[in-house]
Structure 1
Amino acid sequence: MTAGVEEKPGSGPRRQKVQSAQIGTDILKGLAELSPSTSLSNLAAHVGMPASKVHRYLQALIASGFAEQDPGTGHYCLGREALFVGMAALRSLDVAREALPKLIELRDEFNETCFLAVWGNQGPSVVHVEKPARAITVVTQVGSVLPLLCSSTGLVFSAFLPEADTQHVMQQELTSPMSPTRAELDQQFAQIRSRGMHAIHGLLMTGVNALSAPIFAVGNTVAGVITMVGAEPSFTADLSGPHAEKLLAVTRAISERMNGVMPGSTQ
């Protein structure tokens, strides 16, 4: 029998693999926090590692599809595989599980595009879409990040989320010469909170309208926003019409299941 050396717990190749995985995830988090893209030097400073070490890990992440490098700028960003994993994680959230049957119900009743968005680090992110059974539909893609101040989804998030959560995105959009004043926004947010939903008419695309309402979870935190979007004349996005009535009923039912309370609820 040949005597061997007992490997101490937490040492050897296994520990090295764990450390490598931790470094890789730290770099991925860094790419996410510095998105949409960043230089090698900025990323290295952000994660507190030598640039040469970060570069080695980035090459492995690029090879696996979790990172990409812009050939023009040399900057790095998250790759398609990272987006796939992120979207899968978002779809596994309680709000997505609770909302899916209701999204299908809403789509089936009105034959319009219905989608769920959650708040991501860059703003409202679409995590599930139910498309209508018609030849021409309003295209909304899973993974799309919607504007904060010129989409009904973004405006509903802005009205109900704490300002600290939306401030970094809002400040960027307020620099546009077409953006509303802060006073105009505050008035609009007050109306959205009072109605419990919001409608836009042709704001992002001429002839395309949208209705959005929030979903609340424990502590009355905004867990997501459901939006119904369609083209005129079949979809007018009337705040007092049947589409709005059904959308509010759907979001209220999901909120109740998640122990949240919709505005105007008698709970």
Structure 2
Amino acid sequence: MEAVKKGTTIQSLQIGMGILDIIAKQGRPLKFTDIQDLTQITKSNLYKYLNTFTQLGILYRSKDTGEYILGSKIIEYGMAAVDQENVIDRISPYLYEINEKSSSTVVFSIWTHNGPIIVKDINTNRGFNIGAQIGTILPITSASGKVFMAFMDEQIISDWKANEFKQISSEMVTHLEEERIIVQEKGIAFAKEPLVSSVSSVSFPVLNYQKKLLGSVTVVGFTEKIPTNENHELSHYLIQVGSEISACFGFTAEERE
């Protein structure tokens, strides 16, 4: 087989990946016109790309709104790339337990270069809008975002932090930096209505024996049901179960100190 020449590329593939990159970076569902404005690709060509990606499961197009988001196949690739499938298998029983205990939606998020993304959700009430779903990239102001800010390697998240900080006030940046230290100490993060009005969240990290963050587990529900500090009964439970989950991967509570 003839060796591929260095620098040889397939232009159409580059264009297609560019479209996916733009959709991923927006972090929200996009209409066809939105994508065209962002890519400046002709309607006929863009339709072919989007239709192909949708058929392959790389993109998902809502039947109700016609908007596009990242599809299940891209999530599958992402989980395979960071070897998270086994993590999800091992923590799933805990997610169901937390869901039953809290009577609220429970999601598990992992890191991508665009920020934390939801890859698993346990939601017994599908009519309840938490403002996110599998494939949603979470902001730094969310409870999960705060966990990643607190426990991920600073070099890995530096670009993400810089981009996120551009979208919030300097006062909020200062508050988040102060809160980061508390999240590291307590092992739990809180966020009041970061995505949807009346919906708040509480999150804890899943760490391994190398003190590396494997992901975050987040409880999302009506604001009045979600704790705002570590003294709440549900917070005590989540800190405890969080320690149990991390212990499955060789992490011990003493290592956080």
Q: TM-score, normalised by structure 1?
A: 0.67
- CA distance in 2 between partners of 1:63 and 1:264 (Å): 44
Q: 1:254 deviation in Å?
A: 1.2
Residue in structure 2 matching 1:194, options 174, 185, 208: 185
Q: What amino acid does structure 1 have at the position aligned with 2:21?
A: S
Q: What amino acid does structure 2 have at the position aligned with 1:36?
A: I
Are 1:36 and 2:36 counterparts?
Answer: no
| Equivalent residue runs for 1:73-222 within 5 Å | 80=71, 82-86=73-77, 89=80, 92-133=84-125, 136=128, 138-148=130-140, 150-180=141-171, 183-222=174-213
Q: Percent identity?
A: 18
- CA distance in 1 between partners of 2:199 and 2:154 (Å): 28
1:23-79: CA deviations, max 9, x gaps? 78xx58x938982269xxxxxxxxxxxxxxxxxxx89965963778xxxxxxxx997
Q: What amino acid does structure 1 have at the position aligned with 2:219?
A: M
Q: 1:215 deviation in Å?
A: 0.6
Quickly say closer, same or farther: Cα 1:94–1:208, change in 2 above 3 A: same
Quickly say closer, same or farther: Cα 1:260–1:136, change in 2 above 3 A: same
2:214 aligns with 223
Residue in structure 2 matching 1:257, options 235, 238, 248: 248
Structure 2: unaligned runs, 5 residues or longer: 26-48, 60-67
Quickly say closer, same or farther: Cα 1:94–1:33, change in 2 above 3 A: farther
SS at match of 2:231: coil
Q: What amino acid does structure 2 have at the position aligned with 1:83?
A: I
- CA distance in 2 between partners of 1:249 and 1:147 (Å): 25
Q: Is the 8 A contact 1:196 1:263 kept in 2?
A: no
Q: Is the 8 A contact 2:198 2:223 kept in 1?
A: yes
SS at match of 1:259: coil
Select the structure of larger CA radius of gyration.
1
Q: Which region of structure 1 is more displaced relative to structure 2, 128-137 or 151-160?
A: 128-137
SS at match of 2:251: coil
Quickly say closer, same or farther: Cα 1:151–1:34, change in 2 above 3 A: same
Structure 1: unaligned runs, 5 residues or longer: 1-9, 39-57, 69-76
- CA distance in 1 between partners of 2:18 and 2:242 (Å): 30
- CA distance in 2 between partners of 1:228 and 1:198 (Å): 11
Q: Is the 8 A contact 2:130 2:196 kept in 1?
A: no
Q: 1:88 deviation in Å?
A: 5.7
Are 1:235 and 2:226 counterparts?
Answer: yes
- CA distance in 2 between partners of 1:91 and 1:130 (Å): 21
- CA distance in 1 between partners of 2:18 and 2:93 (Å): 31
Quickly say closer, same or farther: Cα 1:132–1:139, change in 2 above 3 A: farther
- CA distance in 1 between partners of 2:90 and 2:148 (Å): 19
- CA distance in 2 between partners of 1:190 and 1:248 (Å): 16
Quickly say closer, same or farther: Cα 1:191–1:91, change in 2 above 3 A: same
Q: 1:193 deviation in Å?
A: 0.9
Q: TM-score, normalised by structure 2?
A: 0.70
